[in-house]
Amino acid sequence: MAIEVGTKLEGKVTGITHFGAFVDLSGGVTGLVHISEIADNYVKDVNDHLKINDVVTVKVINVDKDGKIGLSIKQTVDKPPEAARPPRSPRPERSGSTGGSAGGREGGGERFSGGREGGGGGGGGSYNRERGGRSFKPAVKATFEDKVSRFLKDSEERASSIKKNTESKRGGRGAKRM
């Protein structure tokens, strides 16, 4: 019988390791049930869930070119539809405007106060507190080349900043040690 992905089989646990359990399928073929595929909940120790010579139902989840067979025990259990993760609720809307106020804060949940709001909203809307203080321009769709050039620029700035801070800690003012 050929072992195909998606089929459910019965097998016997022949070995247990810290990363999973080996299951002997029909005809001397052995597959591995990884520790993450044993149960739906967190599995700290495989021995808490399986013992050698246990007969288990497994589902074939992959077959590699070199003959390795990946198995799953948790995918054999049919879950009721309500056991699925509930849909995420949308974030609540914040009250107040995004412009500055007398204290520089409104809505109670801002990260920064003063200096970056741009006075009475004169910043042109480039500062968006809901995105952690980063500027956000939704109207322009950046191409891949734009994204790469922006990444390179940011990367070079970070590298020069790290280099400057490292040299100052060595006490060198640019002088190289021999």
Task: Encode pLDDT of 157-169 as tens digits.
Answer: 999 888 888 776 6
Q: What is the pLDDT of residue 178?
A: 52
Among the candidates 37, 57, 76, a domain finishes at 76
Q: What is the pLDDT of residue 21?
A: 94
Q: Is 89 part of a structural domain of the chain? A: no
Q: Is 95 part of a structural domain of the chain? A: no
In which band, very low, low, confident or very high, does the pLDDT at 113 lie, cut at 50, 70 and 90?
very low
Q: Is 63 part of a structural domain of the chain? A: yes
Q: Is 161 part of a structural domain of the chain? A: yes
Task: Encode pLDDT of 47-71 as tens digits.
Answer: 999 999 999 999 999 999 888 999 9
Q: Is 59 part of a structural domain of the chain? A: yes
Q: What is the pLDDT of residue 138?
A: 56
Query: Helix, strand, coil % (nearest 5) of the chain?
Result: 25, 20, 55
Task: Encode pLDDT of 27-49 as tens digits.
Answer: 789 999 999 999 999 999 999 99
Among the candidates 37, 54, 76, a domain finishes at 76
Residue 6 scores a pLDDT above 80: yes
Q: Is 146 part of a structural domain of the chain? A: yes
Q: Is 124 part of a structural domain of the chain? A: no
Q: Could you tell me what percent of the chain has a pLDDT over 90? A: 34
Residue 45 is which amino acid? D
**Residue span of the structural domain in which 159 resides:** 129-170
Identify any residues that bridge with 13 across adjacent strands, giving them in sequence order: 23
Q: Which residues contact 60 (CB under 8 A, 6 or more apart)?
A: 3, 4, 5, 6, 7, 8, 9, 31, 69, 70, 71
Identify any residues that bridge with 69 across adjacent strands, giving them in sequence order: 63
Among the candidates 49, 76, 103, a domain finishes at 76
Average pLDDT over residues 131-139: 55
Domain count across the chain: 2
Q: Is 65 part of a structural domain of the chain? A: yes
